[in-house]
Structure 1
Amino acid sequence: MPAPQAALANGYQIHALEWDCVHEPAVVHPMATLIPALLAHAERRSAAGRPVSGTDLLLALSLGVEIAAMIGAASKSVMKFFRPATCGGFGVVAGLGSMEGLNADTMMHAFGIQYGQTSGTMQAHVEGSLLLGLQVGFNGRAGLTSVDLAMAGLTGPQQVLTGMYGYYKLFETEHDIPGWWPRLGREWQITRLSHKPFPSGRLTHAAVDAIQQARAELGFGPDDVQSMSASVPPLTHRLVGRPDIADPAPNYARLCIPYVSAITLIDGACGPEAFAAGRLRDPAVHALAARISVSLDSNPDVNALWPQHFVIELRDGRRWERRIETPIGHPDNPLSRERHLAKFRKCWAIGGMAAEGGEALIGQVDSLEQCSDVANLARMLARN
């Protein structure tokens, strides 16, 4: 498969389960575009006798996250386009430019060519269609193609972000790019990613976290719940405050606080099996979801995700209340290595891969700085 098509296919696969990491201030999933494009490019370089080392891959990943996160987080307007796709593509250009050692002019043209291909509609998010993950793949493919074209001598516009018809004029409105320039490379944004413990929209995770805390403290079951309410900031309400519906599409359910909360109240957790066809039609889940309400709080920040406030009323009169500011997986409340590895092993098993291959991959990633050819990672990820 050609490298651009591999970037598309694997970008879709990474984002499809809503289990990939996210930069919360930017509302960007940078690794879903970056890793497929960088590994695809590393494979073709390896085939040409120009292998990419582990340290070069780590640098490319770090720079790609830095640029994707900056472009997203610098926006001060309400999100109108799907930033994991739009910003993610620019991150791919930055990462590949680092990997290839591009000079400033070629890099500038690559960004310009990428801008001409930038896309990502929020309508797929609203409806929960499969285009949601495809858009991530589209922009990963576009980023790789943009670098190829720039290296071949094609040119693109220069004022990509702030020009008359630049990114912030068309895709966003207000921005603070000047405020972000001094921050680049100071606190690497790759260290500020939230790693998802649950395969659902990140903004549903405070609800899962709250329910797990409440169950541990009060010891109740789903039949004991009279009602649950969530009060959330405007952006959170717009993205995941949607009502539960009968037989939703998996991507719709993953982005629905009432559905995800009902699953967690019943199962005690939210895993990939919660979005299987039979479960999505389960009347018990939807009956409980009908007792869960989501309301808009008074937070004035149009890009705020937290805090979220939860109240659970039990039939016996007990009432549990909690304000969640940094749900599990946040960089200030990180997953343990054990939870990271458990998540990886579950994904690996879902993919039908042999357990020993997964353990070998863990070892390779742990020693990535000593790796002389990261195309080996791609080979280890391929199903035999």
Structure 2
Amino acid sequence: MSYDVTEALAQHAARVRFADLSASAIARAKTFLLDTIGVGVAGSSGTGVAQVLELARSWGPGDEATAWVGGHRMSAGSAAIANAYLIHCLEFDCVHEGAVVHPMATLLSALMAWSEREAARGRPVDGKRFLAAMAVGVDVAGNLGMATDAPLRFFRPATAGGFGATAAIGNLAGFDAGTIRSAFGHMYAQTCGTMQAHVEGSPALGLQIGYNARGAIGATDLAAAGLTGPLDIFHGRYGYYVLIEDGQFHPERVAERLGKRWEIEQLSHKPFPSGRLTHGLVHALRDMMREHGFAADDVAEVVCYAPPLVRRLVGRPLVPDPASNYAKLCLPFVGGVWLAHGACDVPHFRGEALRDPRVHAYAARIRHEPDGNTNENALDPQRFVITLNSGAVHEMLLPHAYGHPKAALTEAENEEKFLRCWGHAEPALPRDRAHRVIEMIAGIEAVPDIAALPAVLAGRD
């Protein structure tokens, strides 16, 4: 193969420094650092969080890193699992749509835990180095996802995300390309992530993010100790693209993009705590109701004409008593939530809200149909046709859902989402602490030790 993707990614991860980042990449890194911490705080109200935190402490007791909510101290690997679960358990974290990857969940949980461990060892990581490592991690995870046309068989946010986290830690550790390549091999030996958890709405979905975040820390430790991992891990005979991505691999796409654009600028927000593939429907309902002045009770039918990825991942049937994670990934249910409440927020996917008869009645009016798109990884465009009880028909072609870089949240909307997430923390957190986090991230370049950030989150500073 003329273009060695493994070597190219390793060289990129070893080379990048803060001075290389564009002003827009720095701005977006701050935006999604704040966003990811916010959804992690909100995640403290998610399913099974208390059990995950307690088990994480028992799996890796110690005083290396912090669970962001509650402030429990544990090993870096266990903190990576705990915080990754907090970030992803509400389906609220950002996504790289072109790659179909949630890169920040795996990346930030691993990177922050590793940095705290470094601080405890007298080697603090400053804010500039941290932002550069974040950009590296998103580049690696994003490029891995964009280099395939394969339909998801494994959970790419966990699998590609683990390599992104490994690259980011390798960058912070000052590894050369050979050591990073070896770390990739050790990461591949631990890579996991089944889509069955997605199909069933199991909490294991978010835990898989955590397993790969912990794996990234272990992989870099092994490489630093001089243990060589397998080296031809992306396009080898039993490599990542052969086994995990069904043999579909386009290395030229990496060659075209790597080092030429920052993938952190391509991230999409999730304005709503549901699968990103449901956001087009919410966007269309919101805008069409505003434009045409009809109410939820006026709606007779909603038809969503969507690409195969949308139908495959969120086109699941409506069930009368869904689990929280199932409901978030059910297109009709999420649309029913918006029609019933004119909003789509964390409380709408828990407890009795999951059995709300109004939500289910509206959801029953929503269906999806194929749109003829053959791209197995496309999220858009989507087309919506709404028929009213009066017989009136309204249509919308949506090129990008709200939150996409071309339909982005403003800085004020990003901060509003963060504060809303903060308000969902369990147990409740002081509001003044939220504003300290906002201020710290706004000036993160001047922070001498990134470990100060989880200390603020935990109320220790």
Whether 1:67 aligns to 2:140 is: yes
CA contact (8 A) 2:311 2:370 kept: yes
Give the structure 2 partner of residue 120 of structure 1. 193
Whether 1:89 aligns to 2:165 is: no
Give the structure 1 partner of residue 17 of structure 2. none
Could you list the per-position Cα deviations for residues 213-235 of structure 1 after superposition, in whole angstroms to 9, with x for gaps in the alignment? 11111222222111111110011
Query: What is the CA RMSD across the aligned residues, in angstroms?
Result: 1.0
Give the structure 2 partner of residue 21 of structure 1. 94
**What is the distance in 2 between the residues matched to 1:354 and 1:66?**
35
**What is the distance in 2 between the residues matched to 1:182 and 1:333?**
25
Give the structure 1 partner of residue 386 of structure 2. 312
> Structure 1: any 5+ residue segments left out of the alignment?
none
**What is the distance in 1 between the residues matched to 2:114 and 2:143?**
24
Could you list the per-position Cα deviations for residues 6-47 of structure 1 after superposition, in whole angstroms to 9, with x for gaps in the alignment? 000100110011110000011100100111111111111111
**What is the distance in 1 between the residues matched to 2:192 and 2:79?**
18
Secondary structure of residue in 1 paired with 2:268: coil
Mapping of residues 332-343 of structure 1, within 5 Å: 332-343=406-417
Give the structure 2 partner of residue 152 of structure 1. 225
Could you list the per-position Cα deviations for residues 104-135 of structure 1 after superposition, in whole angstroms to 9, with x for gaps in the alignment? 22111110000000010000001101011111
Match of 1:375 among 448, 451, 454: 451
Q: CA deviation at 1:318?
A: 2.0
CA contact (8 A) 2:346 2:424 kept: no
Give the structure 1 partner of residue 34 of structure 2. none
Mapping of residues 1-384 of structure 1, within 5 Å: 1-172=74-245, 173-351=247-425, 352-382=428-458
Give the structure 1 partner of residue 67 of structure 2. none
CA contact (8 A) 2:202 2:325 kept: yes
State the TM-score, normalized to the length of structure 1.
0.98
**What is the distance in 2 between the residues matched to 1:190 and 1:91?**
12
Letter in 2 for 1:337: E
**What is the distance in 2 between the residues matched to 1:200 and 1:270?**
8
Letter in 1 for 2:447: C
CA contact (8 A) 1:71 1:177 kept: no
Following TM superposition, the consecutive aligned residue runs of length 4 or more in structure 1 with deviations greater than 6 angstroms are none
Letter in 2 for 1:150: A
**What is the distance in 1 between the residues matched to 2:232 and 2:434?**
44
Q: CA deviation at 1:320?
A: 1.3
Secondary structure of residue in 2 paired with 1:309: strand
**What is the distance in 2 between the residues matched to 1:49 and 1:282?**
53
**What is the distance in 2 between the residues matched to 1:259 and 1:19?**
16
CA contact (8 A) 2:381 2:399 kept: yes
Could you list the per-position Cα deviations for residues 274-328 of structure 1 after superposition, in whole angstroms to 9, with x for gaps in the alignment? 1011110112211211111111121121221111111111112222110111111
Count of residue pairs the alignment pairs up:
384
Letter in 2 for 1:2: S
**What is the distance in 2 between the residues matched to 1:260 and 1:226?**
17
Q: CA deviation at 1:181?
A: 2.2
CA contact (8 A) 1:117 1:142 kept: yes
- Structure 1 residues 383 and 311: CA distance shift in structure 2, 3 A: farther
Secondary structure of residue in 2 paired with 1:332: helix
**What is the distance in 2 between the residues matched to 1:349 and 1:269?**
16
Secondary structure of residue in 1 paired with 2:394: strand
Letter in 2 for 1:140: A
CA contact (8 A) 1:93 1:111 kept: yes
Secondary structure of residue in 2 paired with 1:350: coil
Q: CA deviation at 1:383?
A: 5.1
**What is the distance in 2 between the residues matched to 1:117 and 1:209?**
38
**What is the distance in 2 between the residues matched to 1:89 and 1:147?**
11
Identity %: 48
**What is the distance in 2 between the residues matched to 1:284 and 1:343?**
26
